[in-house]
Amino acid sequence: MFQRKGKSDNKELTLVGSNSRIDGDINFSGRCHVDGTVNGNIRADLESESLLTVVGDGTVEGGVRVPYIELNGIVRGDVVASRHVKLGSSARVIGNVYYNLIEMAIGAEINGKLIHQPEGKVPLLEQKKTVIGAAAKIASAT
């Protein structure tokens, strides 16, 4: 797990067990451990110290937006990690990975783009939504 200087371990834990299937989004704080299947997005406050762990048989069918992620399972969707991404040898991402810092083991697979986003910068996804939203407002005003 990640070692964070000066931060106490957050004891809050969200657990999706190996025989569990969640249909819907998960918003968590603290730690979230996925060993089952989540059909939905997983989110945590990007300014927090929250950690998502997806283990070998864990699968996320949706996007992920967290500060820290440790992945050894599968994510079918974009991964946005404001602080740190750690991909184990059995990690699979079918989507883009937006990262500040990244570690990748031999065997990890990304079927998408790796996009670096320095800490403190507005994520590219947010910039894109803002531009699209502004264009829609202009179009509807005319």
Q: Can you give the residue ranges of every domain in the chain?
A: 13-141
Cα 73 to Cα 14, 124, 133, 135: the distances in Å are: 17, 25, 34, 37
Report whether pLDDT(8) > 50: no
Query: Once rounded to an integer, what is the mean pLDDT over residues 76-84?
Result: 96
Distance from chain centroid for Cα 32: 11
Q: Binning pLDDT at 50, 70 and 90, where does residue 7 land? A: very low
Report whether pLDDT(6) > 60: no
Report whether pLDDT(64) > 50: yes
